């Protein structure tokens, strides 16, 4: 039997709260299964599925639907993403449920009188793509799940219908976006108390979302892409000038793809292929960095930060130049980008004492939103799932579908701005990722799994827009090169470079004054930021047979739950 929401939350307080509150940097350890997500109630939903005999895919699906209720800034049914599965037996599989452009999309749709219009690109219903989450989760479950579909959606229905206590983190987040939510009556009704912000401890009830989830539970994807939910989506699109039609919804299909794979210091690296750029860029950077002894350089030394930055710079330049939806870009040079030989060529272009220069007119070696969410799951058979999905910006378009209770994405903003618009500030206008009917926008999501000697080693991923790739990179380097346990690897400070703009953004106090001075002498421009990413990671200690879960304490609601 599914517990009522209050009972569920009582169970959560036992397992999840200590993970975020305890001192030190020790991971949560468990023998049989582990779920790590950005919200403790969702992690508990997933681990209860494992308790009932569900596998990693079952737990990931249930956790994802729960996040659509309790983590509305990124958890979703109105967005899309990627699920990476490494089964205990058999080959890894990548599920692509990225949103698609409506049939009326064009490469120049974000231009107004010939000039780039940021509002058209990122705000309002014109920025909404065709959602993929429901179809993608259902396909992964259909091919690999073991528990009934209704059982997996049921906890989310309970949390939406009966409500859950607003946390301090969620209250602060909702207050931050309150002015934008108030612009839309359905958003105001869903996420405010008659126009006033929710406070920590208030009960957030989402009856319309519960009704939508019930239709999904009863009919699967047909309960979303057809019937009442589809009618409500199209009605809102017609009201506000959006492009998504009933035909677009009916035509949506998730894709099964072959993961990209690489090797790093004896580890098999498995990650997402295009239309995610995450896996390709990650493996390219690891190939470059494998040629040097990062451990001997010292953690966050000027020499190591410089080298990692230069690897980031080159991978992001290649990302902009080459990557997009593979169904619209059949000639992407994937073999070359992933090869060790190409990495050696790139490594030879790095001056150990001088920063390279990023230029929008040169690819000689050459702003995606940070509001995404990630979850990692491992079951007792050591099937592993890494799932990252998003609405694009925090709370997506900020527009709740009236009567349906869920937020629409603004993922069209992940298409390039327009032909030839690449500039020093980071605007990209290269051809592979221009909008077109039915096309999937390029993503930085990088759900990633590492194995060693045939055994599971690490499951990881993060939100963070373009910073996702580098956040995942840091987590891997921290574990493999610096010998950290998974919680230490997640807690360690991060930095980011994405080719354009040409700046290293580093977590405040994450680099020493000496390191900053030495990097500046090399010609790097540096800019402190608050936080980068929110990793959810699970490591497997093969010798002890123990799973170690790390919830990122940068986000207070994050939690690992194990059994």
User: 379: domain range?
Assistant: 5-254+373-414
Tell me whether residue 430 is in a domain.
no
Q: What are phi and psi of 519, to 5 degrees?
A: -65, -40
Reading the block at residue 363, the tokens are: 């690819």
Angle at CA 315, nearest 5°, toward 86 and 497? 105
My answer on whether 245 and 292 are in the same domain is no
DSSP-assigned letters across all residues of 353-376 = TS-----TT--S-----S-EEEEE
Would you say 53 and 380 are in contact if contact means Cβ atoms under 8 Å apart?
no
* 436 within domain boundaries: no
Q: Cβ atoms within 10 A of the Cβ of 211, count?
A: 18
- Compute the distance between CA of residue 495 and CA of residue 300 in angstroms, rounded to an integer: 10
Q: Give CA–CA dist 528/516, Å, rounded.
A: 11
Same domain, 278 and 195: no
- Do 193 and 302 belong to one domain? no
pLDDT of residue 430: 79
CA angle 3, 9, 14 (to 5 degrees): 110
256 three-class SS: strand
Q: Please, are residues 33 and 59 in contact by the beta-carbon 8 Å criterion?
A: yes
Q: Same domain, yes or no, for 134 and 145?
A: yes
Question: Do 76 and 193 have their domain in common?
Answer: yes
pTM of the model: 0.94
pLDDT of residue 9: 41
User: Going edge to edge, which strands form the sheet with 34-37?
Assistant: 255-257, 93-97, 80-86, 384-390, 372-378, 34-37, 559-562
- Which parts of the chain have pLDDT scores under 50? 1-23, 363-366
Over its C-alpha atoms, the chain yields an Rg (Å, rounded) of: 22
Structure-token pair, residue 386: 């890494």
Cα 241 from Cα 510, distance rounded (Å): 45
Residue 554 in any domain: the answer is no
**Residue 202 and residue 236 in one domain:** yes
Q: Which two tokens stand for residue 385?
A: 């799932």
- 424 in a domain, yes or no? no
* 355 is a domain residue: yes
Residue 422 falls inside a structural domain: no
The residue assigned the tokens 């860029």 is 281
280 and 348 together in one domain: yes
Which tens digit of pLDDT belongs to each residue from 277-327?
999 999 999 999 999 999 999 999 999 999 999 999 999 999 989 999 999
Residues known to be catalytic: 372
Q: Number of structural domains, the chain?
A: 2
Tokens matching residue 55: 């596998």
Residues 11 and 36 grouped into a single domain: yes
> For the segment 204-257, what is each residue's pLDDT rounded down to a tens digit?
999 999 999 999 999 999 999 999 999 999 999 999 999 999 999 999 999 999
- Do 332 and 202 sit in the same domain of this protein? no
Distance CA 517, CA 426 (A): 25
Are 319 and 400 in the same domain? no
Let me know if residue 438 belongs to a domain.
Answer: no
- What is the C-alpha separation between 466 and 367, in angstroms, rounded? 7
Give the residue among 233, 222, 247 at the shortest CA–CA distance from 128: 233
Instruction: Note whether 167 and 293 are same-domain residues.
Output: no
* Whether residue 12 is found in the same domain as residue 92: yes
Q: Domain for residue 551, yes or no?
A: no
Count of beta carbons in the 10 Å neighbourhood of residue 530: 7
Nearest-angstrom CA–CA distance, 304 and 74: 33
Q: Specify the residue for token string 């909008």.
A: 435
For 290-320, give the DSSP string: TTS-HHHH-TT-HHHHHHHHHHHHHHHHHHH
CATH number where 486 lies = 1.10.246.130
Per-residue model confidence (pLDDT) at position 417: 87
């Amino acid at each position: 039997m599914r517990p009522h929401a209050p009972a569920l939350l009582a169970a959560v307080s036992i397992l999840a709260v200590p993970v975020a509150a305890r001192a030190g940097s020790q991971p949560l350890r468990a023998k049989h299964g582990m779920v790590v997500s950005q919200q403790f109630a969702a992690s508990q939903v997933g681990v209860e599925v494992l308790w009932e005999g569900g596998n990693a895919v079952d737990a990931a699906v249930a956790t994802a639907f729960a996040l659509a209720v309790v983590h509305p800034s990124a958890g979703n049914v109105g967005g899309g993403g990627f699920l990476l599965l490494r089964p205990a037996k058999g080959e890894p599989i990548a599920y692509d449920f990225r949103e698609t452009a409506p049939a009326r999309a064009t490469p120049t749709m974000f231009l107004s009188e010939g000039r780039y219009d940021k509002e058209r690109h990122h705000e309002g219903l014109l920025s909404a793509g065709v959602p993929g989450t429901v179809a993608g989760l259902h396909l992964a479950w259909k091919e690999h799940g073991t528990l009934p579909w209704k059982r997996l959606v049921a906890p989310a229905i309970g949390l939406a219908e009966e409500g859950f206590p607003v946390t301090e983190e969620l209250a602060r987040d909702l207050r931050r976006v309150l002015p934008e939510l108030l612009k839309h009556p359905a958003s105001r009704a869903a996420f405010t108390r008659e126009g006033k912000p929710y406070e920590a401890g208030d009960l957030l009830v989402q009856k319309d979302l519960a009704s939508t989830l019930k239709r999904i539970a009863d009919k699967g994807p047909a309960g979303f892409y057809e019937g009442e939910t589809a009618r409500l989506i199209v009605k809102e699109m017609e009201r506000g000038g959006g492009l998504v039609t009933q035909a677009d919804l009916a035509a949506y299909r998730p894709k099964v793809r072959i993961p990209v794979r690489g090797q790093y210091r004896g580890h098999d690296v498995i990650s997402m292929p295009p239309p995610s750029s995450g896996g390709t860029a990650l493996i390219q950077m690891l190939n470059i960095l494998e040629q040097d002894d990062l451990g001997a350089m010292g953690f966050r030394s000027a020499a190591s930060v410089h080298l990692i930055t230069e690897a980031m710079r080159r991978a992001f330049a290649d990302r902009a130049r080459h990557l997009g939806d593979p169904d619209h870009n059949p000639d992407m040079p994937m073999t070359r980008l992933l090869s060790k030989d190409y990495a050696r060529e790139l490594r030879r272009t790095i001056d150990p004492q001088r920063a390279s220069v990023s230029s929008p007119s040169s690819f000689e070696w050459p702003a995606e939103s940070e509001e995404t969410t990630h979850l990692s799951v491992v079951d007792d058979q050591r099937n592993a799932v890494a799932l990252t999905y998003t609405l694009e910006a925090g709370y997506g378009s900020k527009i709740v579908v009236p009567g349906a209770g869920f937020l629409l994405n603004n993922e069209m903003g992940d298409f390039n701005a327009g032909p030839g618009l690449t500039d020093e500030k980071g605007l990209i206008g290269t051809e592979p990722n221009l909008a077109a009917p039915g096309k999937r926008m390029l993503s930085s999501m990088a759900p990633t799994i590492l194995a060693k000697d045939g055994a599971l080693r690490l499951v990881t991923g993060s939100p963070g827009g373009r910073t996702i790739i580098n956040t995942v990179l840091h987590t891997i380097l921290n574990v493999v090169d610096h010998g950290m346990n998974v919680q230490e690897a997640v807690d360690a400070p991060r930095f980011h470079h994405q080719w354009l703009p040409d700046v290293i953004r580093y977590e405040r106090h994450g680099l020493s004054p000496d390191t900053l001075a030495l990097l500046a002498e090399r010609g790097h421009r540096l800019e402190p930021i608050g936080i980068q990413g929110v990793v959810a990671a699970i490591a497997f200690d093969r010798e002890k047979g123990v799973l170690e879960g790390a919830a990122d304490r940068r986000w207070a609601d994050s939690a690992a739950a194990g059994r």
